[in-house]
Amino acid sequence: MRKAEIKRTTSETDISVKLVLGSADESAIRSGVPFFDHMLNAMSRHGRIFIELECRGDNALDDHHSVEDIGICMGKAFRKALGDKSGIARFGQAQVPMDEALCQSVVDIGGRAYFKYTGQDLKGVINTYHEELTLEFLRSFADNAGINLHVMLFYGENRHHIHEAIFKSLGVALRRAATIDPEYANTVPSTKGVIA
């Protein structure tokens, strides 16, 4: 079973996260940011990634530090859980609709960190959640997981639906990329022979 645990403490956040890849178990997520919990649960369920997460952050100031630092920890845990990446499919993509919203996420677990978002601006507020925090999470996750992540929001009107389509499509794309591909057996899917 591919799993990893990461703990990180700073003056702004205290985070512990455990990831198990390929698990349909119900996650236990307590980020301190309710809407973000809902999004991570959607990513977890559709990505078949068990997430046990506890974050104590300076939320009285802002949710930014918590969301960004969770991205750091989850990225590190995802990378660690993959080990040397032998046998993985490496590439994954998913288009996911959520009612009127449609999003596509494309990933390459190739050791090269890059994040690109295209689509309408995410600058509003959902309850107390600032939409740009989703981009902060995605960027810090991609950087620390060592993956290429391209997220394309084609359209959407309801802000909740937009973010849910983003997180669900990311989960499915990660699941597909991390799946063991029998054609690769015990080889690393890279012409270099290694994915760092």
Return the pLDDT at 162: 98
Strand partners, 6: 17
42 falls within a domain: yes
pLDDT < 70 stretches in the chain: 188-196
166, 134 contact by CB (below 8 A)? yes
Write the CATH number for 121: 3.30.230.40
CA 74 to chain centre: 7
Residue 19, in any domain of the structure: yes
Tell me: the pLDDT tens digits for 152-164? 999 999 999 999 9
**pLDDT tens digits, one per residue of 89-104:** 999 999 999 999 999 9
Q: Is residue 32 in some structural domain? A: yes
Is 196 part of any domain? Answer: no
Buried b vs exposed e over 73-102: b needs ≥16 C-beta within 10 Å?
A: bbbbbbbebbeebebbbbbbbbebebeebb
Task: Report pTM.
Answer: 0.94
Residues linked to residue 79 through DSSP beta bridges, in sequence order: none
Longest distance between any two alpha carbons in the chain, whole Å = 50
189 domain-assigned: no
pLDDT of residue 65: 96
Domain tally, the chain:
1
Cα–Cα separations (whole angstroms), residue 6 to 18, 134, 181: 7, 21, 27
In-domain check, residue 195: no
Q: Is there a domain that residue 62 lies in?
A: yes
- The predicted pLDDT at position 192 comes to 60
∠ CA 169-29-153, nearest 5°, is 20
Burial (CB count within 10 angstroms: exposed 0-12, middle 13-18, buried 19+), residue 16: middle
Q: What is the total residue count of the chain?
A: 196
Q: State the SS3 of 4-63.
A: EEEEEECCCEEEEEEEEECCCCCCEEECCCHHHHHHHHHHHHHHCEEEEEEEEECCCCCC
94 token code pair: 């998913």
Residue 41: per-residue pLDDT: 98
Domain containing 148: what range? 3-178
